[in-house]
Amino acid sequence: MEKISDKMEKVVSLCKRRGFVFQGSEIYGGLAGVFDFGPMGVELLNNLKRAWWKANVYDKENYYGLDSGMFKHPKVWEASGHTSGFSDPLAECRECNTRIRVDKELDALGVSADEKMSETEINRLFDEYREKISCPKCGQKNFTSAHAFNLLVKSNLGDFTSEGNDPVYLPGEACQGIYLNYKNILNSMSPKLPFGTAQIGKAFRNEISPRNFLFRTREIEQADTQYFVKPNENKEAYEKIKQDRFNWYLSLGIKEENLRFKQHENLVFYASDAWDIEYNYPWGFDELEGVHDRTDYDLTQHMKFSGTDLSYTDGETGEKYIPWILETSVGLGRMFLAVMCDAYHEEEMDGSKRTVLKLHPDLAPYRVAVSPLLRNKPQLVEKAREVFVSLKKEFGNVAWDDNGNVGKRYRRQDEIGTPHCVVIDFDTLGEEKPELKDTVTVRDRDTGEQERVPVEKLVELFEVRCR
């Protein structure tokens, strides 16, 4: 069996080699916890966002989209509890100064450290298991005790004195913008409860040890939905949302055996229930998306801190209450990594080894690649360009590939997940077999099978096979 780290290394290496993901600021030696999406990566990322938006806005009748500003009033992060409680327990290696997150180290030993634990409590647990925790860099076991490290990232926006007394934070999570605009949505769109709001936005966290590539980064893009329901009418809707989110990953082609639900053992005091959807990453099952039943905590907090009435009045019964919230939240980086790991395959085809990304056709960076059989035959190139230009006009994400022989082109397109390759050959010109004039070879990425298709049918074919 393949070693865990091998698969991860192969995926990371493919991401770099084929233009999916680069280390942030690489030419300066890199910036930990930040990644850049390259020409192939941005296509996959945009396709993921589009698929998510379709499922959470267009396919629903009572969900509204939102794009809120990143910076928010400093009080927002007080109301949300981030300034006081958004911290991870940090310890430092006395030998080499490497920092570790004590709760995650304990987690790896099967010891669950409750998020609400005080510093004293977490240190008691840390002391108990110290002997089993080694520094990931130097291997020593000589750590300082743990202290709470706040993850919020400060900015000096609007601070012209540079004193930094009342910092405007970068968002610790994107979803706060939804709570802040809940009233605006009520007033402008007049929705009846229950209704949802969907948003994709950036968040920043001073993660102590960013790791596992896109899994734990300092700059994060989150896709969130918040569903506002009548108090105590949460259970059924929560179950449906959980199932919908799980099924959505299946609809992206992720294998069912690589997904599972995990219930939170230690609920935060206001939550009614909380589950994670976990993906089987190369290092094992880990959190992909959180689905949380949050009661009225968020709106109540913002009502208290802002002094603005955030209650909802039922138009028919006149009842007034603070809605409860069911939240879904997923990091696009974690989604991207899960999709890449799931799609990555090495296999034999036609007697040779190939690496293929079996991406869902809707997610693949290129919908189709077009090639002339030979690049030094002007009639073939001219005809191929004609087909390429017309497909590109229709779909946009179409590749032109005339490098090397056709077999090599297929392998190159397999590696980036292009579902179909179109080849223009002498039969397309109809010189020897007039009945094949204006037909092309269409080759399928997964089976390697080839079919002969009239040029005029190509748009229709690729419309049906990729949406």
Give me the residues that bind ligand ATP (CB under 6 A), please: 173, 205, 207, 216-217, 220, 222, 287-290, 329-331, 333-334
Residue 289 or 402: which CB sits closer to ligand ATP? Answer: 289
Indicate the burial class of 257 (C-beta count within 10 angstroms; 0-12, 13-18, 19 or more).
exposed
Instruction: Report, in Å, the least distance between residue 103 CB and ligand ATP.
Output: 9
Q: Do the beta carbons of residue 122 and residue 146 sit within 8 Å?
A: yes
Q: Where are the beta strands (DSSP E) in 358-402?
A: 368-372, 398-400
Residue 175 or 466: which CB sits closer to ligand ATP? Answer: 175
Residue 115 or 119: which CB sits closer to ligand ATP? Answer: 115
Spatial CB neighbours of 81, under 8 Å, sequence gap ≥ 6 = 301
Instruction: Report, in Å, the least distance between residue 275 CB and ligand ATP.
Output: 11
Instruction: Report, in Å, the least distance between residue 287 CB and ligand ATP.
Output: 5
CA distance 408 to 375: 14
Residue 220 or 421: which CB sits closer to ligand ATP? Answer: 220
Sign of the alpha-carbon torsion through 282, 139, 125, 123: negative
Spatial CB neighbours of 251, under 8 Å, sequence gap ≥ 6 = 55
Instruction: Report, in Å, the least distance between residue 88 CB and ligand ATP.
Output: 8
Residue 288 or 458: which CB sits closer to ligand ATP? Answer: 288
Residue 101 or 445: which CB sits closer to ligand ATP? Answer: 101
Residue 86 or 462: which CB sits closer to ligand ATP? Answer: 86
Read off the tokens for 253.
């082609």
CA distance 286 to 435: 56
Instruction: Report, in Å, the least distance between residue 334 CB and ligand ATP.
Output: 4
Q: Do the beta carbons of residue 258 and residue 7 sit within 8 Å?
A: no
DSSP 8-state secondary structure symbol assigned to residue 65: E
Instruction: Report, in Å, the least distance between residue 265 CB and ligand ATP.
Output: 13
Q: Which amino acid is at 312?
A: Y
DSSP 8-state secondary structure symbol assigned to residue 307: -
Read off the tokens for 169.
């934070």
Instruction: Report, in Å, the least distance between residue 34 CB and ligand ATP.
Output: 11
Q: Which residues pair with 345 in a beta bridge?
A: 356
Q: Cα angle at 298 between 294 and 300, to 5 degrees?
A: 115
Instruction: Tell me the residue number closest to ligand ATP, measured at CB.
Output: 331
Residue 70 or 349: which CB sits closer to ligand ATP? Answer: 70
CA distance 155 to 158: 9
Instruction: Report, in Å, the least distance between residue 421 CB and ligand ATP.
Output: 34
